[in-house]
Amino acid sequence: MEELICKFLKYLEIEKNYSLYTVKNYEEDLNDYKLFLNKESINIKQTDYKFIRNYLTSMFNKKYSKKTIARHISTLRTFYKYLIRENIIKNNPMTLISNPKMDKKLPNFLYYEELEILLNIPDKSTILGLRDAFILELLYSTGIRVSELINIKLEDINQIDKKILILGKGNKERYVLYGNYLKELLKLYLDSRKIIVKNNNNLIINKFGNPITDRGIRLIIENIIKKGELDYHVSPHTLRHTFATHLLENGADLKTVQELLGHESLSTTQIYTHVTNERLRKVYLDCHPRARR
């Protein structure tokens, strides 16, 4: 089993070109599955629909969230398809397995006042503080994913037209735009970057001048939250949600937001209309005299 997992992860990394962060998630899920196999003394070739159901039941009993269970199911689907492809097994036990019905949850976003507080926490008088301020502004101004952020190269930036070439999910390319706030920070950041950079052309670097990781970005944001003593949670995806929500609130059409976010389906983007509608409802109930009880 150990050898199969290693070969599968290599397949994801080399042939499917998945990010290291995604591959790591697959590895964690499969290691969890391997423990269950060992506990039940079952060989991977002996697994069937009933066994998979027992595994899912064990996760429900451990109080795993529906989102986590759905991720494990997705991991196993991909893994078993790989095993079929490599002629390691003949029957796929995942064929009839469906995802748990997810609870509808609105994306977490920041109100503009909260965003302004966050963006002003980094100390722009230091090299790393300027970099951190630039990261926050870049995530908010463009709405890109953290996996897209860490892969931006210097040559991907068109400073004349104020746009950046992004390599998104499935190796699909798109351009994102940015405004004057980011333009000014970009110039300052690029000037300071020269002081610590080594021989690499990645836009975002760590304190040693090397390309930064997904985890590195998340740690930076966590430290900013602690420094600012903020009482609300912020992740890179929170800024992506905020980007989309603010665009729609200010009159952007759904199709444009879809393209800027790099969503393949418009239905994925439509969740943000629920966010803006919910905010409108809240403002109405809070502010209109006849809406108050």
Report the alpha-carbon distance of residue 137 to residue 115 in Å, rounded: 10
Q: For the domain with range 2-85, which CATH number is right: 3.40.50, 1.10.150, 1.10.10, 1.10.1200? A: 1.10.150
Give the C-alpha separation, 227 to 193, whole Å: 23
- What is the residue-averaged pLDDT of the chain? 89
**Kind and range of the H or E run holding 182:** helix 180-196
Q: What is the arithmetic mean of pLDDT over 190-194?
A: 91
Length of the chain (residues): 293
CA atoms of 209 and 193, how far apart (whole Å): 8
Give pLDDT, residue 187. 95
| Annotated catalytic residue 288 | no
Nearest Cα neighbor of 240 from 265, 267, 271 is 271
Active site residue 246: no
Distance CA 80, CA 87 (A): 10
Domain positions in the chain:
2-85, 112-286
293 annotated active-site: no
Choice among 145, 193, 241, 246 that is catalytic: 145
Q: Which of 169, 174, 218, 279 does the annotation list as catalytic?
A: 169
Residue 42 pLDDT more than 60? yes
Give residue-wise pLDDT tens across range 115-135.
999 999 999 999 999 999 999
Q: Any idea which of 48-52, 142-146, 244-248, 269-273 has the lowest mean pLDDT? A: 269-273
Say which residues have a Cβ less than 8 Å from residue 291's Cβ, sequence separation at least 6: 284, 285
Angle at CA 255, nearest 5°, toward 250 and 259? 100
Please tell me what DSSP assigns to residue 151: T
**pLDDT of res. 282:** 74
Q: Which of 24, 66, 71, 237 is catalytic?
A: 237
Indicate if the pLDDT at residue 293 is higher than 60: no
Tell me if residue 263 is catalytic.
yes
* pLDDT at 19 (0 to 100): 82
What value does the mean pLDDT take over residues 45-54?
A: 93
Say whether pLDDT at 102 is over 80: no
Active site residue 145: yes
CATH code given to domain 112-286? 1.10.443.10
pLDDT tens per residue across span 130-160 = 999 999 999 999 999 999 999 999 999 999 9
Q: Which of 72, 131, 193, 240 is catalytic?
A: 240
What would the mean pLDDT of 16-37 be, rounded to a whole number?
90
Residue 67 pLDDT class (50, 70, 90 cuts): confident
> Residue 21: what pLDDT?
81
